[in-house]
Amino acid sequence: MQAAAWRRHLLDHHHLSPTTSAAIAAFRSAAQPALAPQGLAGADGARYMSSARAPAVKGSGTLVRKGTGGRSSVSGIVAAVFGATGFLGRYLVQQLAKMGSQVLVPFRGSEDCHRHLKVMGDLGQIVPMKYNPRDVDSIKAVMAKSNVVVNLIGREYETRNYGFEEVNHHMAGQLAMVATRYSMIPIAKEHGGIMRFIQVSCLGASPSSESRLLRTKAAGEESVLKEFPEATIMRPATMIGTEDRILNRWAQFAKNWGFLPLVDGGSSKIQPVYVIDVAGAIVNSLKDDGTSMGKTYELGGPEIYTVHELAELMYETIREWPRYVNVPLPVARAIASPREMLLNKVPFPLPTPSIFNLDQINAFSTDNLVSKDALTFEDLGIVPHKLKGYPVEYLISYRKGGPAFGSTASEKMRSSEL
């Protein structure tokens, strides 16, 4: 309760000094930077970035901006993005860095796993920090230098070293616990302690789900809110983008084997979302005056697809004749189960599951849509993209004969039509 009262105290501008209040007033009135990369505007900029309707920024605690809002400005945000080297992480880091935020990138792999992120911000704005997710002291070392924490850590399959319960549940609770300590006792006064915590979960997370992934994600949300009640929970649907783990795998399988297996004919309904829109939603939640604190947002795309319809979009983009094999749900579970049973019983690593991932099969066994009364993109000032078009253009790399060709193309297309 003391932590909550302290954060609310910071967000009340009436208790700030005249100098700080004036700075925040200037921060509110400052023109917001567009979400397009530098040098791109209009249609070209909108093509690459989320179509966020940038709200009038009201400040967040003692955050004070300097500059015009570009990557060489100072947004006042020092964000520790756990899981920054993953799929969503690279897009979130890019959007934070281009508005002048300093981004701390905790990593546990080699020095190469984060190098693609360093060019996304100005000199010194992307700060890689070696850490161990099982070592509380290394987590403290990262959070001591930040005022915003974003947890993107997650697993869609288990390995011998990291299971769902540890990654999706215990690590989330541990980060929230450490963040709570630093919100009460600011180590670096210039950063003001941890003022915001964003937990990225999954659409459909529920203690009653058939998928262990979704059950542990729900447990992770509960742990975070127990430690940090003002945390913002984001529940994105299946994310689509250049490095995604669904359309890429489908396209690769279809190219290699000439068909695509669909569980129960792909009749389940999903609401896939463009990954850049999810990153834009997280950034917009950090720009508000605290109205998103303690709330849960369900982030689904503007269109509802069946799994079969999404596969049709993939085939249309890679220009291959669609061929499917219907796999009944019990058969799909039987194919995927041996890996789960043998995972910790054999003395060697097992292959990474692709098409037949037991938890993904269980998650797709029922419809996974945004709830009727849930907070959505609209509440964060985001207009999500439709998938058909630019969001899936990366699939043209799977076309037979090159981007301008394909098995279903009768003639070479002009470059302007690509």
Q: What is the pLDDT of residues 206-228, one digit of tens each?
A: 999 999 999 999 999 999 999 99
- The two structure tokens encoding residue 401: 């004969």
CA dist 121 → 62, 71, 312 (Å): 23, 6, 38
Collapsing DSSP to helix, strand or coil, 55 comes out as coil
pLDDT confidence of residue 411: 45
pLDDT confidence of residue 43: 38
Q: Which residues of the chain have pLDDT under 70?
A: 1-65, 67-68, 182-192, 409-418
Q: Are 97 and 125 in contact (CB under 8 A)?
A: yes
The H-or-E segment that residue 117 falls in is helix 115-118
Q: Is the pTM of this model over 0.85?
A: no
Alpha carbon 88 to chain centroid, angstroms: 4
CB atoms inside a 10 Å sphere around CB 418: 9
Residue 378 is given by DSSP the state G
CA dist 282 → 73, 197, 236, 369, 407 (Å): 20, 11, 11, 20, 40
Strand partners, 66: 74
Helices (DSSP H) in 244-384: which residue ranges? 247-257, 275-287, 307-318, 329-342, 358-363
Q: How far apart are CA 261 and CA 277, in angstroms?
A: 29
CA dist 236 → 129, 299, 370, 379 (Å): 27, 4, 9, 14
- The two structure tokens encoding residue 146: 């930040």
Q: Cβ contacts of residue 110 below 8 Å, gap of 6+?
A: none
Q: How far apart are CA 12 and CA 289, in angstroms?
A: 9
Helices (DSSP H) in 288-348: which residue ranges? 307-318, 329-342
Q: Are 297 and 380 in contact (CB under 8 A)?
A: yes
Cα within 13 Å of Cα(126), Cβ side: 23
Burial class (CB in 10 A: 0-12, 13-18, 19+), 94: buried
Q: How far apart are CA 75 and CA 140, in angstroms?
A: 23
- The two structure tokens encoding residue 257: 């084997």
